[in-house]
Amino acid sequence: MALPYQWQMRVERLKRMFSGWFGGGDGDQPRPQLCPACGALVGINATRCHECGTNLRFGLAAWSKGLSEFFGGHAPVTTLILIVNVVMFALSWVITVKTGEGSGFGLFSGIGNFTLLRLGASNPYMIQVLHEWYRLVTAMFLHLGLIHIGFNMMVLLDIGPVVEELYGSARYLFIYIFTGMVGFGLSMFFHPAAGASGALMGLIGVMIAVTTKRSGTSMQAMRSRLISWVVSVFIMGYFLGADNYGHFGGLAAGFILGKLMDDRLPANATERNRAYLLGWAAGIVTVLSFVLMFLHFNDGLPGAR
């Protein structure tokens, strides 16, 4: 059965990405290429850019460009985050049903508590006593029910592409993972938690900071809408028992990053390489966190029989 056209294109991009990393296949026709770091036109057989010195075969810039092309669109990291969240929710549902914890399809809290713990939800005892720090990352890709993931993914698709376009995919990934970790780093002192809302509040915090650095009525209007949104989130969080500590931690971390980081795409090769370094560091931490989660999946859990 043939793959849909869109996925055929992604497979071809993936082939080109890997062939670019390690020199390409013998049957590939040589073609002009652009430096992924500075955009300069380089020779067909060049391995380094003559303008900025970037390695064209094996480096952060080449890898980042390849991954961006594979996921396609103007917001590839947002697409990837959405996919991981949906996959983890589906896995949570399967495990919940298989273990008999529930149906998995409750609107607010259909996923079983032990299932969430096994898949890396934040838990004070397991982080502070057992030192399972990977939970600060994995928890942001887990959700309690259909409304929980539905609402968070709508917010992600609303604000994520805006921040990704503004800062670039690499720095956007760093912002998302870092602010989510700070959110769970604060809430772990108070209660168990899971969900993308801490990282999403980080994105909102970044945008609020951006509006304070730019003038004009449109920026003032955007800031007012964002602040109203934040107030609504905290009010709903209070009455619904949501993780407002995580919300505050993510929001504060995002606002600080928004103040410190230039609210534009990297302007030169040095800035691009620094952005790629941040993005890849966040990506590696995320992958390692999921590896550790699967390694600890069958560990004993507090309160489990």
Q: What percent of the chain has pLDDT over 70?
A: 72
pLDDT-based confidence at 223, cuts 50/70/90?
confident
* 100 has a pLDDT exceeding 50: yes
Give pLDDT, residue 288.
97
pLDDT tens digit sequence for 102-150: 665 566 677 888 889 999 999 999 999 999 999 999 999 999 888 899 9
Identify the three-state secondary structure at position 55: strand
pLDDT tens digit sequence for 148-178: 999 999 999 889 998 998 899 899 999 999 9
CA angle 301, 303, 305 (to 5 degrees): 85
Residue pair 193/199 in contact (Cβ under 8 Å)? The answer is no
Query: What average pLDDT score do residues 45-59 get?
Result: 57
* 61 has a pLDDT exceeding 50: no
Give pLDDT, residue 21.
41
Instruction: Give the predicted TM-score (pTM) of the model.
Output: 0.77
Task: Kindly state the DSSP code that residue 90 receives in the 8-state scheme.
Answer: H
Domains (ranges, CATH) in the chain?
Answer: 76-295 (1.20.1540.10)
Could you tell me the CA-to-CA distances from 195 to 120, 127, 135 in Å, in that order? 11, 16, 11
Query: What average pLDDT score do residues 207-236 get?
Result: 88
pLDDT tens digit sequence for 268-284: 888 888 998 999 999 99
* Residue written as token pair 């912002």: 175
**N-terminal to C-terminal alpha carbon distance within the chain:** 45
Could you tell me the CA-to-CA distances from 44 to 29, 37, 82 in Å, in that order? 10, 17, 36
Look at residues 61, 216, 17 and name the one whose alpha carbon lies nearest to residue 51: 61
Residue pair 193/102 in contact (Cβ under 8 Å)? The answer is no
Measured between alpha carbons, how far is 137 from 121 in angstroms, rounded to an integer? 9
pLDDT-based confidence at 2, cuts 50/70/90?
low
Structure tokens at 117: 């713990």
Residue pair 254/203 in contact (Cβ under 8 Å)? The answer is yes
Give pLDDT, residue 24.
45
Q: Position 12: which residue type?
A: E
Give pLDDT, residue 17.
44
Length of the chain: 305
* 18 has a pLDDT exceeding 70: no
Give pLDDT, residue 189.
93
Residue 37, sorted as left (phi over 0), alpha (psi -120 to 50) or beta, turns out to be alpha
